[in-house]
Structure 1
Amino acid sequence: MSLIENFVQNHVDLLKRNDYIDPSLYKEYGVKSGLRNEDGKGVLAGLTNISQIISEKNVDGKKQPCDGELWYRGHRINELIEDLGDELGFEKIAYLLIMGVLPDDKELAEFKTVLGEARTLPANFTRDIIMEAPTGDIMKSMMRSILAYSYYDHNVLDNSVGNSLRQCLELISTFPQFAAYAYHSYNHYKKGGSMYIHLPDPSLSAAENLLSLLRPDRKYTPLEAKILDTALILHMEHGGGNNSSFTARVVTSAGSDTYSTMTAAMASLKGSRHGGANLRFISMMNDIREHVRDWYDRDEVAAYIQKIVNKEAFDRTGLIYGIGHAVYTISDPRKIILKDYLRQLVREKGCFDDELALLENMEVVAPGIIAKARNLPQPPDPNIDFYSGALYYMLDVPPSLFIAFFAIARIVGWSAHRLEELITSNKIIRPAYKSVMKTEA
């Protein structure tokens, strides 16, 4: 054991004793733990024009839960998806979130051309940066790529709105390469698999490029591209209060550069309490598949779900990942959209009927079991992770890339929030902490 390991072992209990704060003090001093009110909803900390989440409405002067709504720049997400039809809309909705309005045909064509040309990485970047230190933590590899990319920017510290917009667009364009190349490098150097480094096609959409970069034969079906495109749109933005978007605004308010801001947001997203939830969902599903013999038997599925809730199975946390949401009380509007695509994908592939049956049985039995165990007023509804995790699994996306796909989408929202913070605010975000330390007389 090294000196530092020995020191830590001998002092960790002292650290825990001196850093512990009695939870009752939060209520005594009126401090909102986690910047959340007692009902779990976030403390109002800012204003935004970018998006809105609605989970309750006033009825006769009283707030009552309602079906969830998600709005992007004054447009319901459900209507935006419906209006796209068969069109791949990542670029159009990215333009909406960043610029504040939907583009006309000419503006959209220009925007697609700009993003397509910006996908080219600097010479030898893949070899010298991404392949140099392969890791299964794709998010960490992407964070390293973001910071390394800044060394190729001659105006890295220019925080003007125009320069920041350029930087954001370049990162939106290059994130798919950062992720795909990181995975292939890890798969080759650490797992002994083959490595495929395909160049992006400027004429393809973000979703098409992602599938093309990831797969050895670069092939995908129109439905696969549409499903991934829709999932990316639904993950783009979710209000300024989510942890990673708030992180982007905090770091921006400090006067930091775009690359540092996005790296900080990535660090937030990779946390198990944020973007890591869909990876936990897949781990849970693998465990359920192993322990439930008949996936069509609703009673057997319910019995094992009960064991998980009772902390007798899986990770012993009692959590059913993918069920319930911190903001949406009744329903997550995003999961309704993905649920339909899940069924379409099962029909096209013709090999996931058993998995679909298991998911549908879980959707029926899990909410009631959770509500009873936690004495909830109403059963929680499946959230977007319940279906996006299953969709990525059926699209043959490696689990190590699940959070990275989230980041490829959410950087659009981060960019919108960074730019709004730069334009709107001139104050550093600096909340206060009440000191409860004991002082010597």
Structure 2
Amino acid sequence: MKEFEYADITKEVKELAILCKKNSRIDPELYGKYEVKRGLRDISGKGVLTGLTEISEIVSYSIVDSDLVPCEGKLYYQGVNVKDLVNGFIEEKRFGFEETVYLLLFGELPDKEQLSNLTGLLAKYREELPTSFVRDIIMKAPSRDMMNTLARSVLTLYSYDELADDTSVENVLRQCLQLIALFPLLSVYGYQAFSHYHDGNSLFIHSPKPELSTAENILHILRPDSKFSHLEATILDLALVLHAEHGGGNNSTFTTHVVTSSGTDTYSAIAASLGSLKGPRHGGANIKVVKMFEDMKEKVKDWESEEEVGQYLSDLLNKKAFDHAGLIYGMGHAVYSISDPRADILKGFVKNLSEEKGLQKEYALYSMVERLAPEIIARERRIYKGVSANVDFYSGFVYRMLDLPMELYTPIFAIARIAGWSAHRLEEIINDGKIIRPGYKSVAKHKEYKTMEERTVQEENADIRLA
């Protein structure tokens, strides 16, 4: 007798899927008829206002004579321009992610003592991950996807928390700080378990060091020899800062607000946000960029030829290259048009890292694509509102140069974004809003109820007619 396989899609299931598709399809014209803003965005692409926040602000338009005019993108964390924030970290030669966490959670920049207290608290929480948790939870039945591993670990931590359901601000803050501290360990250890059990690689577990920053600890616990350069840690830290928050309207952060508004516990809310971020339309975009460039490097013989590179980009748009989706990954953003400030900030540091790694030729290819793609998109698609490189365009390249496994690209995003999710969860709780429950209009036709016998006779008659 054949053993049951969980992934089996039987003939019966396939037939039911056909019925599901048949009876669940909604006429696209009805969305226009009832003025439904699909994806909570209006016809111009502007997001529907669903809440207020002080945590971050995205600026992509300026007002000129009462009209909205696209401008160079800006991003603010608690009113502080991220570009100024990063410049401060670089000028003073210090890691900035922990300071960014403080700013997002508490609404102001810390002094030396406040920052030292926070980093000490995060180090303490990292050391409190039980050995039994690593052995019994992370190492057993490792998932093929690290985001699922991370979500499972977060949900399991509920069982280790005696105050798991306490939603007071003090307790939720404690839980959020612990998760911010533990995300690097849960992610990297999860990957190492997968790599050992599925790929047969040696298993090594490094304990975090309290004197190291979040970025340094990631490289320390990930690499067998724990070695890394200062530039490597600096650029990973920068990537964490730039991914820490991006407004309340992005899919995973909005998920945080929605789930928090139901009154549920922190672990459930953050696990839901992780499920959102896992989606390739959200957190997995930089993986697509890296894979696209790998394909490009194989197909384009002369990386310095604008003609060859331009033809490849044209083929992408016309569904003749890579995954035939008709997209140049890493170009364009739902909010920014002229520029994504995160990509602008990251680009300069990417150049420095490419020189350290001897990958200047590859960096030049990225720069050429960044320059040519907007022109080709405008010509092929007749889109003239402005298309620019987004943060995913360069972040995947950064992670590849840092020798981070692709399985950790999206968890690295989560390690950063847990800071923003935590700030938004606290904001939702502190302001005691209503449960978020948007309206959906039913367009189903009313049907007459028929007994089981009547339905059976009807089906038999239909079979006779078909025969």
Q: Secondary structure at the match of 1:403?
A: helix
Residues 366-405 of structure 1 mapped to structure 2, 5 A cutoff: 366-405=373-412
Give the deviation of 1:4 after TM superposition.
Answer: 6.5
Aligned-pair identity in percent equals 51
1:295·1:301 contact (CA, 8 Å) conserved in 2? yes
Pick from 25, 38, 42 the counterpart of residue 20 of structure 1.
Answer: 25
Match for residue 465 of structure 2?
A: none
Pick from 234, 242, 264 the counterpart of residue 234 of structure 1.
Answer: 242
Match for residue 95 of structure 1?
A: 102
Q: Secondary structure at the match of 1:96?
A: helix
Give the deviation of 1:13 after TM superposition.
Answer: 2.1
Deviations 1:388-421 (A, max 9, x none): 1111111111111000000000000000000000
Q: Could you say which structure has the larger radius of gyration?
A: 2
Give the deviation of 1:253 after TM superposition.
Answer: 0.2
Whether 1:84 aligns to 2:89 is yes
What is the rounded CA distance, in whole Å, between the counterparts of 1:141 and 1:41 in structure 2? 35
What is the rounded CA distance, in whole Å, between the counterparts of 1:50 and 1:402 in structure 2? 25
Deviations 1:120-144 (A, max 9, x none): 2113111111110123301100011
1:370·1:379 contact (CA, 8 Å) conserved in 2? no
Give the deviation of 1:379 after TM superposition.
Answer: 4.2
Q: Secondary structure at the match of 2:283?
A: coil
2:78·2:104 contact (CA, 8 Å) conserved in 1? yes
Give the deviation of 1:275 after TM superposition.
Answer: 0.3
Q: Which runs of 5+ in 1 are unaligned?
A: none
Match for residue 282 of structure 1?
A: 290
Whether 1:166 aligns to 2:174 is yes
Deviations 1:135-170 (A, max 9, x none): 330110001110111111000000111000000000
Whether 1:39 aligns to 2:47 is no
1:363·1:382 contact (CA, 8 Å) conserved in 2? yes
Give the deviation of 1:94 after TM superposition.
Answer: 0.4
What is the rounded CA distance, in whole Å, between the counterparts of 2:205 and 2:9 in structure 1? 41
What is the rounded CA distance, in whole Å, between the counterparts of 1:180 and 1:41 in structure 2? 37
Match for residue 356 of structure 1?
A: 363
Give the deviation of 1:113 after TM superposition.
Answer: 0.3
AA in 2 matched with 1:55: S
Whether 1:53 aligns to 2:61 is no
What is the rounded CA distance, in whole Å, between the counterparts of 1:159 and 1:135 in structure 2? 30
Q: Secondary structure at the match of 1:151?
A: helix
Deviations 1:281-304 (A, max 9, x none): 111111111111221112111111
Pick from 9, 28, 51 the counterpart of residue 14 of structure 2.
Answer: 9
Match for residue 260 of structure 1?
A: 268
Q: Secondary structure at the match of 2:61?
A: strand
What is the rounded CA distance, in whole Å, between the counterparts of 1:22 and 1:200 in structure 2? 54
* Residue correspondences, number: 440
Whether 1:329 aligns to 2:334 is no
Pick from 429, 434, 445 the counterpart of residue 438 of structure 1.
Answer: 445
Q: Which runs of 5+ in 2 are unaligned?
A: 449-467
Match for residue 413 of structure 1?
A: 420
- Give every structure 1 segment of 4 or more consecutive aligned residues whose post-TM-superposition deviation is greater than 3 Å: 1-4
Whether 1:210 aligns to 2:210 is no
Whether 1:315 aligns to 2:323 is yes
AA in 2 matched with 1:137: D
Taking structure 2 as the reference length, the TM-score comes to: 0.92
AA in 1 matched with 2:85: L
Farther-moved stretch of structure 1 (368-377 vs 78-87): 368-377
1:50·1:239 contact (CA, 8 Å) conserved in 2? yes
What is the rounded CA distance, in whole Å, between the counterparts of 2:271 and 2:319 in structure 1? 35
What is the rounded CA distance, in whole Å, between the counterparts of 2:87 and 2:362 in structure 1? 27
2:330·2:389 contact (CA, 8 Å) conserved in 1? yes
Taking structure 1 as the reference length, the TM-score comes to: 0.98
Match for residue 303 of structure 1?
A: 311
Pick from 180, 184, 190 the counterpart of residue 182 of structure 1.
Answer: 190
AA in 2 matched with 1:31: V
